C-alpha cells in the first residue's frame, strides 16, 4: 500500500486581530495616537497535518477561531507566526459572504469564481450547465447576486465549489443552509466527494450529526488553542462531554 501524501500542513500557526478600543471622538480627537490597540489572538500556535483524501471536521464553541483557521487555509488570512503549506493543491472556500461580486449575475459569478480558482474559460464553460442545474436557481441565475437570499447564495456557492472539483474543499457551515431538498442533495454530493480518495475536505460545523456521518477525523480548538486532533468518534465524544459540562 502506497504511503498517503500530506495535503495540508499547519505548523505553529498564530493569527492576530488588532482593533482600537472604543473611545469618545469628542474627548479623544487630539489624543487619537495614544489610544492603544487591542490585540486578539484568534488562533494560537496550532499545528496539525491532513492527508490527501481525508475528511476533517473542525469543532469548537463560538469564537474559538474555527472560521479564521479555515480562511487562513484558503489564503484569505496570512499567518502572523508559523506557516501553512498546501503543497500546490487547488483550494475552494465555501462560506457565506465570501467570493461573489454582488452586482454580477449568478452566471457571471460562476465564470469569475472559476477563473479565480485557476480554471480556464473553456473548462468553466464546459462545467457551467452542470453547475446551473445543481444550483437550481431558475431565472435567478441571470440576476444580480445582491438579489439572492442567503439560501440561494449558498446553493450557488456550493454548486460552484463541488462541480469544479478542486483538490481541497473548505466548507464553513454552508451545509446547514438552504431548503430541505437542497440539503439532501448537497449531503449526497459531499458523500460522493468523500469516495474520491484524492480529494481533501475540511468542514467547520456545529452539526454533530453531519460531522459523524461525513468525517473520519476531527480537529477541536477552544479559544484559539489546540485541544485534540484524531479519530472522529473519540474527539467528538470528548468535545460533547466538555460542552455539556461547560454549560451554565
User: Over the range 40-63, which residues count as b (16 or more CB within 10 Å of their CB) and which as e?
Assistant: ebbbbebebebebbbbbbbbbeee
Would the pTM of this model clear 0.85, i.e. be above it? no
Strand blocks (E) in the chain = 6-20, 37-51, 55-59, 81-85, 91-95, 168-172, 200-204, 217-222, 225-231
- Alpha-carbon distances, residue 242 vs 76, 122, 222, 228 (angstroms): 31, 50, 11, 12
221, 58 Cβ separation under 8 angstroms: yes
pLDDT, mean of each 10-residue run, the chain (248 residues) = 82 85 52 64 95 94 92 92 94 74 94 88 94 94 93 86 87 69 79 80 90 93 96 96 80
User: Over the range 148-178, which residues count as b (16 or more CB within 10 Å of their CB) and which as e?
Assistant: beeebbbbbbbbbbbbbbbbbbbbbbbbebb
CATH class, domain 6-246, is alpha beta
Helices (H) and strands (E) in the chain, counts: 8, 9
Cell readout for 182 is: 437542497
144, 152 Cβ separation under 8 angstroms: no
48, 226 Cβ separation under 8 angstroms: yes
Locate the domains of the chain by residue range: 6-246
41, 15 Cβ separation under 8 angstroms: yes
Q: What are phi and psi of 117, to 5 degrees?
A: -85, -5
Distance (Å, whole) CA 59 – CA 84: 19
Instruction: Identify the bridge partners of residue 166 per DSSP, sorted by sequence position.
Output: none
Taking the CA atoms of residue 176, residue 188, residue 238 and residue 94 in that order, the dihedral angle to the nearest 10 degrees is -50
Strand blocks (E) in 32-188 = 37-51, 55-59, 81-85, 91-95, 168-172
Amino acid at each position: 500500500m502506497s504511503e498517503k501524501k500530506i495535503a495540508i500542513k499547519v505548523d505553529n500557526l498564530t493569527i492576530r486581530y488588532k482593533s482600537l478600543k472604543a473611545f469618545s471622538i469628542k474627548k479623544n480627537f487630539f489624543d487619537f495616537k495614544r489610544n492603544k490597540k487591542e490585540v486578539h489572538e484568534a488562533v494560537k500556535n496550532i499545528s496539525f497535518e491532513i492527508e490527501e483524501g481525508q475528511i476533517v471536521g473542525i469543532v469548537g464553541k463560538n469564537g474559538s477561531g474555527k472560521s479564521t483557521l479555515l480562511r487562513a487555509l484558503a489564503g484569505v488570512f496570512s499567518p502572523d507566526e508559523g506557516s501553512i503549506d498546501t503543497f500546490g493543491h487547488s483550494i475552494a472556500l465555501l462560506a457565506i459572504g465570501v467570493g461573489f461580486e454582488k452586482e454580477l449575475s449568478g452566471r457571471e459569478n460562476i465564470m469569475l469564481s472559476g477563473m479565480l480558482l485557476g480554471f480556464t474559460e473553456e473548462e468553466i464553460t464546459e462545467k457551467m450547465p452542470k453547475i446551473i442545474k445543481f444550483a437550481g436557481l431558475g431565472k435567478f441565475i441571470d440576476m444580480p447576486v445582491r438579489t439572492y437570499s442567503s439560501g440561494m447564495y449558498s446553493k450557488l456557492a456550493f454548486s460552484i465549489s463541488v462541480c469544479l472539483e478542486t483538490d481541497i474543499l473548505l466548507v464553513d457551515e454552508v451545509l446547514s443552509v438552504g431548503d430541505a431538498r437542497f440539503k439532501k442533495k448537497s449531503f449526497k454530493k459531499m458523500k460522493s466527494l468523500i469516495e474520491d480518495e484524492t480529494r481533501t475536505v475540511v468542514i467547520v460545523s456545529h452539526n454533530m450529526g453531519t460531522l459523524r456521518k461525513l468525517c473520519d477525523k476531527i480537529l477541536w480548538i477552544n479559544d484559539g488553542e489546540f485541544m485534540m486532533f484524531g479519530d472522529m468518534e473519540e474527539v467528538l465524544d470528548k468535545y460533547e462531554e466538555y460542552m455539556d459540562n461547560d454549560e451554565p
